[in-house]
Amino acid sequence: MSNPSFDRIQTEITENPVMLYMKGNAMFPQCGFSARVVQILTHMGVPFKTANVLEDAGLRDGIKSFSNWPTIPQLYVKGEFVGGCDIITEMFQSGELTTLLAEKGIPHEVTA
């Protein structure tokens, strides 16, 4: 746990119920995979915070070690790693994401 970005990450995922590590920001995603997760969260009306890994090389490497996950984006809900783009997309399509958000008490619009 000597990675200097780990403290920052731990604080962010603790303080923000839905925290997305991505390339770019919610307004201007700089990668299609990051854009897709933003689109899903926005569509579901979920309030979320983002961190742009392109602005911080330490964070970009740090989040990969922290989660033991080699790619960006990465979504954390209530401090727990939920997955990257493929998993979020699959969970959205199957309805599991709605269930997870409800279980964790995250506000979201209920969609059919």
Partner 1 sequence: MAMAASEIEALIKTALPDARITIEDLAGDGDHYAAAVVSETFRGKSRVQQHQIVFAALRGRMGGELHALALQTSAPD
CB of 14 to partner 1, least distance (A): 19
**13 in Cβ contact with 5 (< 8 Å):** no
Amino acid at 65: S
With binding defined as CB under 8 A, does residue 90 bind partner 1?
yes
CB of 88 to partner 1, least distance (A): 10
State which residue, 7 or 80, has the beta carbon closest to partner 1. 80
Map the footprint of partner 1 across residues 69-88, applying CB under 8 A. Answer: 69-71, 81-87
**5 in Cβ contact with 67 (< 8 Å):** no
Amino acid at 96: E
State which residue, 58 or 107, has the beta carbon closest to partner 1. 58
**Residue among 79, 56, 50 nearest 67 (CA):** 79
Q: Kindly list the residues in this chain that would bind partner 1 in the complex (CB under 8 A).
A: 33, 64, 68-71, 81-87, 90-91
